[in-house]
Amino acid sequence: MAEKTVKEITSMDEDFTQWYTDICLKAELVDYSSVKGCMIIRPYGYAIWENIQKNMDAMFKATGHENVYMPMFIPESLLQKEKDHVEGFAPEVALVTKGGQEPLAEPLVVRPTSETLFCEHFSHIVQSWRDLPKLYNQWCSVVRWEKTTRPFLRSREFLWQEGHTVHATAEEAKEETIRMLNIYTDFCKNYLAMPVIQGQKTESDKFAGAEATYAIEALMHDGVALQAGTSHYFGDGFPKAFNIQYTDKNNKLQYCYETSWGVTTRLIGAFIMVHGDNNGLVIPPRIAPTQVVVIPVAMHKAGVLDKAGEIRDRLAAAGLRVKMDDSEQSPGWKFAEYEMKGVPVRLEIGPRDIENNVCVIARRDTGEKMTVSLDEITSFLPQLLDTIHDDMYKRAEERRDAMTYVAHNKEELKEITDSKQGFIKTMWCGDPECEDAVREEFGVRSRCIPFDQENLGDKCVCCGKPAKYMLYWGKQY
Amino acid sequence: MAEKTVKEITSMDEDFTQWYTDICLKAELVDYSSVKGCMIIRPYGYAIWENIQKNMDAMFKATGHENVYMPMFIPESLLQKEKDHVEGFAPEVALVTKGGQEPLAEPLVVRPTSETLFCEHFSHIVQSWRDLPKLYNQWCSVVRWEKTTRPFLRSREFLWQEGHTVHATAEEAKEETIRMLNIYTDFCKNYLAMPVIQGQKTESDKFAGAEATYAIEALMHDGVALQAGTSHYFGDGFPKAFNIQYTDKNNKLQYCYETSWGVTTRLIGAFIMVHGDNNGLVIPPRIAPTQVVVIPVAMHKAGVLDKAGEIRDRLAAAGLRVKMDDSEQSPGWKFAEYEMKGVPVRLEIGPRDIENNVCVIARRDTGEKMTVSLDEITSFLPQLLDTIHDDMYKRAEERRDAMTYVAHNKEELKEITDSKQGFIKTMWCGDPECEDAVREEFGVRSRCIPFDQENLGDKCVCCGKPAKYMLYWGKQY
C-alpha cells in the first residue's frame, strides 16, 4: 500500500519486470494507493501523458475529428444490444448497484469502452447523408476488472482516447480505420521514436463486435511484444443493432458504417521498455516534460547562478522545455537524478565554462559529452534533440530487426522459442486451429498479419498445408 | 430519451428555464441519453470546455501547479476517515459492489471529490519540509447522485478540475486558498466576461470537512444567483485524520495544512445565463470555438468563394478561430444559425463588397453592422473581439448592479422578495438561526460574506441585534 521506496534500479538483464517497476516508481511516474488494481499517475508521469495528448489531439483535429464527452455509466441493457460486444466485455465490468443510498432498478456498468453510448447518440443525430460522416473522439478513463496490475500496462482503470466514427459507406469507414492506424504509426515514429509493425489481427484476436481489427505492434527491450494501438472496422453490425440509418441522396434509407480506434497510457509503458536502460528512463525528446536540464556547477561562485538562469531563459524563449536545478544537492547527485529521470539533455555550466563562453552538454541516450559555445546553444540544442530522436528510433529499429526471426516449420519454431525472445515471422494457412496449436506448443501468440507481406515459402509453419498469409508471432505484454 | 428537437427558442421572459434548456439543445451543446441524470457533451459544447480548460490550466501552471491523475474509485473505509467529509458526501454517492462478476469485499465509491485519495497520497510522499508545498490539480469527472438534471448545472456526473495542495504552515495554505479564488475571479472576468462577487461562505454552507469555504457568486439574467467556483481552507483537519506530517528545519515533526478548490462545467451554464438572449447563445469571444464566421453571399458568382476562402485563411493566419460556411443553405438561414450559436462576429462578403474591397461585419452581442476595408480586417477584428468582450462584461456588471438591492429589516426584505429577483445585501448578526429564518420566511439563501464589506447600518436584518457582517442573499441555481 505504502509507496515502495526504490534504492537502486534492478538491472534489466537480471530481472526485466522488476527493472520496469523500479523505474516507474523511482522516476516518480506512478504511485500505488489503497485502491486495488488502480494507480496514481504522478506529476512527472502525467506531464508525459499531457504531451502525448496534446500532440495526438492536434493530429486528430487536423484530420477533422471533434472531441465529445459521453457518460461514464452504461445501463446493462444498453451494453447488451450488440451480442458479440457484450460477450467480450461482460466478464470484466465493474457494476454500480447503489446510488444515493438506494438500490438501482437497473445496474450501471462503469464504461469499459463506449461503443454502445456513441451508437445510441448517433442514432439520435444522424438522419440524412448531410449529417455524415461524424468523426468523434473522447479522452477519458475506462474500467476493466483485471486480475493483475502493472503500471501503465495493466490496471483496472486506465486513461485512453477512444475515437468513434460513423460513415455513409463501407469504403469510407474502411479508409478511416486505416487512416487512424497510420496516425498512430506516425505518432509512435515521430513522437515516441518507436518503430511499430502495422497489420490485421487474426479472427480470434478481433475486438468484440468488430468485422476487422488492425493493430500496431512494438517490440520491447526484452523481446516481448506489446500491442500499442488498435483500429476497428465495424461494418454495419452496430448500426443494425442500434438502428443508425440515414436517407441517402436518392431518398432511400441506408444503414451506416462505423469504426472505433484507441490508444492508452500503455504508450508510456511501451517507450519505457523500448528506450530505457540500466540507469533508468530515456524519454523521447518530443514528449519529455523537461528536454534540457541546466545544472550550475560550483554554484556558490559569483556569476554562476545568474549565468545558468540566463541560459535557462534563453532556451525557454527558444521554445524548449527547460528546467534549472539550483537546489542544494551536489552536481553529482543531480547528474544521476536527471539521468535516472531520462531528461534527454543535460547542460552543465561552471566558472571556467563561463570564462570560456562555453557549456558542457551531455546526451542521455548515448552519454556523449560535448563542449558548445554559449552563442550557439539556441540553434544547437533544438537540432541535437532532433538528432537524439532520430538516433533513438534507429537503434530501436535495429534492435527489433535483430530480434526478429523466421521459422518455416515446427522444428525451426522450437529452436527459436527455446533459445530466443522476439518476433517470429512465419507463413500461415489461416486456420485458427494452427494458431491455437502454435500457442499451446511454443507459448507464442499471433501478433498480426502485417500489411507488409513477405513470401517466406508456401507452407503453413504448423500444418504444412498451403499458406495464405505471413504472420508475426511473439510473447505479449 | 430521444433528442428533443427544438424548433424555436422559448422567450426568456416567458420561461427562463425552458429558454435555457432550448439553447443547450438547439445550439447542440448537449444531448440526453438513456443514462438517467447524465448528459452527453457534444462537439460544440466540448470545444467550449476545452477552451476553458486550456486557458485555466495555463493559469494554474503559471502559479506552480502540476497535474496528476487519481483513481476514480475510493474504498468506503478511506472516504470514512474524515468524519465531517463522509457525512457530507455519503448520502449522494454511487457504489460499485461487483467487479469481474464477483461481489467486492469492500464497496467502492465512485469519486464525488478526491480529498481522501490526495490525502493518502500526500501521506506517502511528504516527509520533510523540502517536500512542501505540493500544488496538485486534476481534470476529471465526478459523480454525485442528484435527483434532478439540468444541462451543465446539475447532473449525476460532471466534469471539473479539483486542486489539492499541502503546505508547511497555515498561513501558506490560507494564501493559496485566496490565490486560487482570485484566479477564478480573473478567469471569469477575462475569459467569460462575467463579473463575480468574492466572499466567504457562512458556517452552514461550508464544504464538508473545511475550516473555511470561499466562493465566487454570479448573477444570472433572471436574477438567480449561481455559485461559480469554490476554494476551501482545510487547516490541519485532513492531515490529522490521514497522518500527513513533515520534519521541519529544526527536525521537529509537524502536521501539514491543506486546501482544495474547484470549478466545473457549470461555468458554461453560467455564461449562457449571463450573456444569452432571445436569439440564443452569446459566447464570450476568448472561449468561443468559432470567433468569426465568414459567410459568402451570392456565392455562385465568380470569385466570391475564392475571396471568402482567402479571408478565412488570412484571419486564421492572424490567430483567430475562424470558419467559413459555404454550404448550400441560404445566407439568411446561415445568419440566423450562427446568431443562435452565439458566434461573436459574422463577416459577410458578396460581389459588390469585393468590387469595393470591403466586407460587412456584424456583432452578435449588439447586432451592430459595420463596413470594413478588407485591407484592415486582420487588425480590426482582434480589436473588435476585445471590445465585444469588454462591452459584454460591462453590460453584465450593470445588469447585476441594477438587480442588487439593499434591505435593512424584514419589511424591506419582504418588499424586495415579493416583487424582485436578484442579490440582496443586508447586515447580519452572524447567527445561523437568523440565516435559517430568512431562508424559510423569504425563500432566499445566504450567498456569501463578501470580501468587499459595506456598512449598511448596525443591525441584523432579521433579529435587529448588533450586526457583524454584510451578507449577500439570493435564490440559487
CATH numeric code, A404-474: 3.30.110.30
| 8 A C-beta contact, residue B228 and residue B194 | yes
User: Can you state the angle between helices A43-62 and A266-275, rounded to 10 degrees?
Assistant: 110
Question: Residues 6 or more apart from B131 whose CB is under 8 A from it?
Answer: B125, B246
Cα B72 from Cα B95, distance rounded (Å): 12
What confidence tier does B7 reach under pLDDT thresholds 50, 70, 90?
A: confident
Question: Residues 6 or more apart from B150 whose CB is under 8 A from it?
Answer: B17, B20, B21, B269, B477
| Average pLDDT of the segment spanning A380-389 | 98
Q: What is the pLDDT of residues A313-366, one digit of tens each?
A: 999 999 999 999 999 999 999 999 999 999 999 999 999 999 999 999 999 999
- From chain A, pick out residues whose CB is under 8 angstroms from the CB of B33: 70-71, 117, 120-121
Gap from B40 CA to chain A (nearest CA, Å): 5
Nearest CA in chain A to B46: A68
Q: CB–CB of A39 and B71 under 8 A?
A: yes
For residue B388, give the nearest of B368, B360, B374 by alpha carbon: B368
Count of C-beta atoms within a 10 Å radius of residue B278 = 13
**Which of the 8 DSSP states describes residue B5?**
P
Give residue A7's pLDDT: 76
CATH numeric code, B16-275: 3.30.930.10
Q: Which residues pair with B30 in a beta bridge?
A: B41
Question: What would the DSSP string read from start to end of A203-221?
Answer: GGG--TT-SEEEEEEEE-T
Q: CB–CB of B91 and A99 under 8 A?
A: no
- From chain A, pick out residues whose CB is under 8 angstroms from the CB of B140: 141
What confidence tier does B29 reach under pLDDT thresholds 50, 70, 90?
A: very high
Q: What is the pLDDT of residues B369-418, one digit of tens each?
A: 999 999 999 999 999 999 999 999 999 999 999 999 999 999 999 999 99
For residue B170, give the nearest of B117, B133, B124, B122 by alpha carbon: B133
Residue with cell 535557462: A312
Which residue would you say has higher pLDDT here, A322 or A147?
A322
- From chain B, pick out residues whose CB is under 8 angstroms from the CB of A92: 100
Nearest CA in chain A to B139: A140
Question: Considering chain B, what percentage of its residues have pLDDT values greater than 90?
Answer: 96
Nearest CA in chain B to A101: B91
Q: Tell the CATH superfamily of the A292-384 domain.
A: Anticodon-binding domain (3.40.50.800)
Sheet with B102-110, strands from edge to edge, namely A73-75, A102-110, A94-99, B94-99, B102-110, B73-75
Task: Give the β-pairing of B292-296 and B322-324.
Answer: parallel
Q: CB–CB of A34 and B136 under 8 A?
A: no
- From chain B, pick out residues whose CB is under 8 angstroms from the CB of A91: 100-101
Cell of A428: 500461415
Q: CB–CB of B43 and A93 under 8 A?
A: no
Cα A290 from Cα B135, distance rounded (Å): 18
What burial class does residue A419 get, using C-beta atoms within 10 Å of its C-beta: 0-12 exposed, 13-18 middle, 19+ buried?
Answer: exposed
Q: Where are the domains of chain A?
A: 40-275, 292-384, 404-474
Give the number of C-alpha atoms closer than 13 A to the C-alpha of residue A363, restricted to the C-beta side: 20
What confidence tier does B5 reach under pLDDT thresholds 50, 70, 90?
A: low
H or E element in which residue A16 lies:
helix A16-26
Q: Cis omega before residue A133 (within 30°)?
A: yes
Tell me the CA end-to-end span of chain B in Å, nearest whole number: 24
Nearest CA in chain B to A74: B35
- From chain B, pick out residues whose CB is under 8 angstroms from the CB of A71: 33, 35, 38-40, 157
Q: CB–CB of A100 and B66 under 8 A?
A: no
Give residue A84's pLDDT: 87
Of A41, A98, A147, Cβ closest to residue B95: A98
Question: What would the DSSP string read from start to end of B113-148?
Answer: --HHHHHHHHHHH--BGGG--EEEEEEEEEE---S-
How many Cβ pairs within 8 Å bridge chains A and B? 162
Q: CB–CB of B100 and A147 under 8 A?
A: yes
| 8 A C-beta contact, residue B152 and residue B268 | yes
Residue A1 confidence (pLDDT) above 50: no
Task: Determine the Cα angle at B418 with ends B415 and B424, to 5°.
Answer: 65
Cα B460 from Cα B438, distance rounded (Å): 11
In three-state secondary structure terms, A98 is strand
- From chain A, pick out residues whose CB is under 8 angstroms from the CB of B94: 96, 98-100, 108
Residue A425 confidence (pLDDT) above 90: yes
Cα A22 from Cα A7, distance rounded (Å): 9
**Domain A40-275 - what CATH class?**
alpha beta
Of B34, B46, B78, Cβ closest to residue A78: B34
Q: Among B29, B30, B40, pick the best mutation site for testing chain A contact (most A Cβ within 10 A).
A: B40
Question: Residues 6 or more apart from A439 whose CB is under 8 A from it?
Answer: A445, A446
Cell of A333: 547527485
Task: Give the β-pairing of B469-474 and A292-296.
Answer: unpaired
pTM exceeds 0.80: yes
Gap from B113 CA to chain A (nearest CA, Å): 15
What confidence tier does A82 reach under pLDDT thresholds 50, 70, 90?
A: confident
Q: Among B5, B31, B51, B124, pick the best mutation site for testing chain A contact (most A Cβ within 10 A).
A: B124
H or E element in which residue A448 lies:
strand A445-450
What confidence tier does A5 reach under pLDDT thresholds 50, 70, 90?
A: low
Nearest CA in chain B to A130: B327
Cell of A204: 480470434
